[in-house]
């Protein structure tokens, strides 16, 4: 702009002017200036004078000085309207570039900011792990990113990479080494989370497509991404298929359309705490490739408490265990996606109809259609919720979780949802009085050392599911029906690291604004609660994402949806805001409603 003013600056001044930073306005619209020669000359002269003053008051600039600031996430000052594009918000740790792949790693996002790579995009699912992330776009294709996924020195910006296409994926589950994907047809696929391990070995056959009418023939089946299908070991009934999956740290649960529960060992540690619900299963024999025989190895994964009952005893009273588990997995690579190609039905749940499965870090849960909950697996922090009288750290058989222990006999209780993450478990429970009035409660149990129990205490072990008082038993007046309606917790996300996100269904007619209030609490070492601070929170608090709004409410709308390549998929698609709790990170993205 100085060139238009007709000024000549020396080289030293030019270098100093490069250090002058401009601060953009918070407004989205900028009014163009008039093309007035006098105004431009005056403005230029003023800028030159300011630059000369700046050059005399600043230290010398060296050639190796940084001239550009690091890119930062874009804050969203005002709540977008229905006519604005779809904005996804992220906050928390970005150490492995799982939140913002176009940002330098190591810097946390202290308050909710826009994830620009998701602008205008609605997803089917999004999952965050500690070093990598994955999502499913509107077309059902899987994308992966993060430093743990790249696994090689990176130059420039790393955009999410397409790794699985043409399978019509609807749900994802991430673990340290493997990514599990559920298709709309009920098939379960597994990919490596490391891009180097996704490459085909020379001479290896490529996986076939779902069927002859799939898209595999179009792509030629010569893609560079390796994947495998995980098949059920037991035969399915007529029109039975998998409808949901849930993964812990080392095990995977799957639910069928007929209410049957299957489990899958992800690696050798899949049953250390009995979280599989069974011990013995077969896996392919690696030597069968040499012998040309379809042989299998019979594996017996004994829980640690059974293999060594005195493992937690002090050395002075420790007794050597006579139980030695058979270990024929020494030379088996359990990080391979073909470690175990099958899902096995949980024996204790055969004949029991299940409506939902949930996997914690080392525990498992199953909810029946009538609202009763069964849990098994690790319990050293009381995360299964069996009560303070149960001191066992391992539960190998599905055991009922009593959620009405501290309520009156005149109150009927049923669980509406169970969510587990790490060593924390959350239950949404409906209470019905004899008078017909209903209320809803949120109960928490497990390791609350960072305040994740939401009861204003830091408790390491909580075996009795305890009420989150500030979010339980809430009601509001409905102007249309002129009655009191319960304010129910709608969705809960529990992170593996100990923070909790929850939405309250406060969109009754009397609310006026509509939407769902977002509440957060628990661990906050990387500002994963979105308040800009790094101190833990022991009671639920609202998230303030916009300057002009005290309540951050998740809404639904119809919008134009793009895929991750930037192409328009469909218009007037019904989408809703969905929350995700990752490793010290949080995301609110737009999800396509079914």
Q: Where are the beta strands (DSSP E) in 257-393?
A: 261-265, 280-284, 296-300, 342-345, 356-359, 363-367, 373-378
Three-state secondary structure call for residue 450: coil
Cβ atoms of 418 and 489 closer than 8 Å? no
CA angle 311, 448, 450 (to 5 degrees): 115
Task: Provide the phi-psi class of 385: left if phi over 0, else alpha when psi is between -120 and 50, else beta.
Answer: left
Specify the pLDDT at position 125. 98
- Low pLDDT (below 70) residues in the chain: 1-83, 105, 152-157, 201-223, 288-293, 310-328, 507-514, 545-550
Q: How far is CA 428 from the centre of its chain?
A: 19
Specify the pLDDT at position 82. 57
Cβ atoms of 99 and 585 closer than 8 Å? yes
Residue with tokens 């999800």: 591
Cβ atoms of 200 and 224 closer than 8 Å? yes
The per-residue DSSP string of 201-225 comes to PTTPPPPPPSSTTSSHHHHTT--S-
Q: How far is CA 135 from CA 73, 113, 129, in A?
A: 20, 19, 11
pLDDT tens readout for residues 2-30? 333 333 334 443 433 333 333 333 333 33
Phi and psi at residue 11, in whole multiples of 5°?
A: -65, -35
Radius of gyration of the chain (CA): 28
CA dihedral sign of residues 178, 385, 257, 184: negative
Whether the full predicted model's pTM is greater than 0.85, yes or no, is: no
Domain positions in the chain are 1-22+36-69, 74-592
DSSP 8-state class, residue 79? -
What are the respective helix, strand and coil percentages of the chain, to the nearest 5?
Answer: 10, 35, 55
Distance (Å, whole) CA 506 – CA 512: 10
Cβ atoms of 441 and 429 closer than 8 Å? yes
Task: Report the CATH architecture of 74-592.
Answer: 7 Propeller (2.130)
Distance (Å, whole) CA 357 – CA 35: 65
Specify the pLDDT at position 19. 39
Specify the pLDDT at position 467. 95
Distance (Å, whole) CA 474 – CA 24: 43
The per-residue DSSP string of 120-144 comes to TB-BSEEEE-SS-EEEE-TTS-EEE
pLDDT tens readout for residues 274-323? 999 999 999 988 776 666 567 788 889 999 888 777 666 666 555 554 44
According to DSSP, the residues that pair with 191 across neighbouring strands are: 179, 227
DSSP 8-state class, residue 53? H
Nearest Cα residue to 276 out of 419, 397, 426, 173: 397
Q: How far is CA 270 from CA 79, 299, 449, in A?
A: 44, 12, 25
Three-state secondary structure call for residue 313: coil
């Amino acid at each position: 702009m100085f060139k238009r003013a007709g000024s000549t600056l020396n080289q030293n001044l030019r270098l100093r002017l490069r250090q002058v930073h401009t601060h953009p306005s918070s407004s989205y619209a900028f009014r163009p200036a008039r093309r007035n020669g006098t105004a431009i000359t005056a403005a230029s002269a003023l800028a030159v004078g300011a630059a000369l003053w700046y050059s005399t008051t600043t230290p010398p600039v060296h050639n190796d000085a940084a001239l550009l600031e690091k890119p930062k996430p874009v804050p969203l000052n005002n709540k977008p309207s229905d006519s604005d594009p779809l904005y996804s918000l992220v906050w928390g740790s970005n150490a492995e570039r799982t939140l913002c792949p176009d940002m330098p790693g190591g810097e946390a996002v202290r308050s909710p900011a826009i994830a620009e790579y998701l602008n205008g995009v609605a997803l089917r699912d999004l999952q965050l792990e500690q070093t990598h992330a994955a999502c499913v776009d509107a077309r059902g294709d899987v994308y992966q990113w993060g430093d743990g996924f790249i696994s090689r020195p990176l130059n420039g910006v790393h955009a999410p990479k397409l790794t699985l296409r043409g399978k019509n994926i609807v749900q994802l589950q991430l673990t340290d080494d493997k990514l599990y994907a559920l298709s709309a047809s009920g098939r379960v696929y597994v990919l490596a989370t490391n891009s180097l391990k996704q490459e085909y070995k020379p001479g290896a056959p490529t996986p076939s497509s779902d069927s002859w009418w799939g898209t595999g023939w179009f792509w030629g089946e010569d893609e560079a991404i390796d994947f495998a299908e995980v098949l059920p070991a037991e035969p399915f009934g007529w029109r039975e298929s998998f409808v949901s999956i849930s993964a812990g740290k080392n095990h995977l649960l799957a639910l069928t359309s007929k209410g049957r529960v299957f489990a899958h060992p992800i690696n050798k540690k899949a049953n250390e705490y009995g979280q599989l619900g069974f011990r013995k299963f077969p896996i392919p024999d690696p030597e069968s490739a040499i012998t040309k025989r379809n042989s299998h190895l019979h594996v017996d994964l004994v829980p640690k408490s059974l293999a060594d009952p005195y493992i937690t005893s002090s050395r002075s009273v420790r007794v050597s265990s006579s139980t030695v588990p058979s270990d024929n997995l020494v030379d088996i690579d359990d990080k391979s996606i073909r470690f175990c190609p099958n899902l096995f039905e949980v024996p204790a749940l055969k004949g029991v109809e299940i409506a939902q499965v949930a996997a914690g870090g080392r525990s498992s849960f199953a909810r029946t259609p009538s609202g009763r909950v069964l849990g098994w697996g690790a319990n050293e922090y009381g995360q299964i919720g069996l009560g303070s009288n149960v001191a066992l750290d391992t539960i190998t058989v599905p055991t009922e979780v009593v959620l009405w222990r501290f309520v009156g006999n005149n109150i009927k209780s049923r669980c509406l949802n169970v969510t587990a993450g790490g060593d924390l478990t959350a239950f949404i429970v409906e209470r019905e009085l004899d008078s017909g009035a209903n209320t809803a409660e949120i109960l928490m149990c497990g390791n609350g050392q960072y305040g994740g129990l939401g009861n204003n205490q830091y408790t390491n072990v909580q075996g009795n599911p305890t009420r989150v008082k500030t979010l339980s038993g809430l009601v509001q007046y409905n102007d249309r029906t002129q009655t009191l309606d319960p304010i129910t917790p709608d969705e809960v996300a529990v992170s593996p690291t100990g923070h909790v996100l929850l939405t309250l269904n406060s969109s009754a007619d009397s609310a006026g604004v509509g939407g769902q209030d977002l509440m957060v609490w628990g661990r906050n070492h990387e500002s994963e609660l979105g308040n800009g601070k790094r101190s833990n929170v022991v009671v639920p608090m609202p998230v303030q994402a916009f300057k002009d709004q005290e309540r951050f409410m998740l809404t639904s709308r119809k919008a134009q949806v793009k895929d991750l390549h930037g192409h328009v998929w469909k218009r007037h698609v019904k989408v809703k805001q969905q929350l995700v709790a990752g490793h010290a990170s949080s995301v609110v993205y737009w999800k396509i409603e079914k």
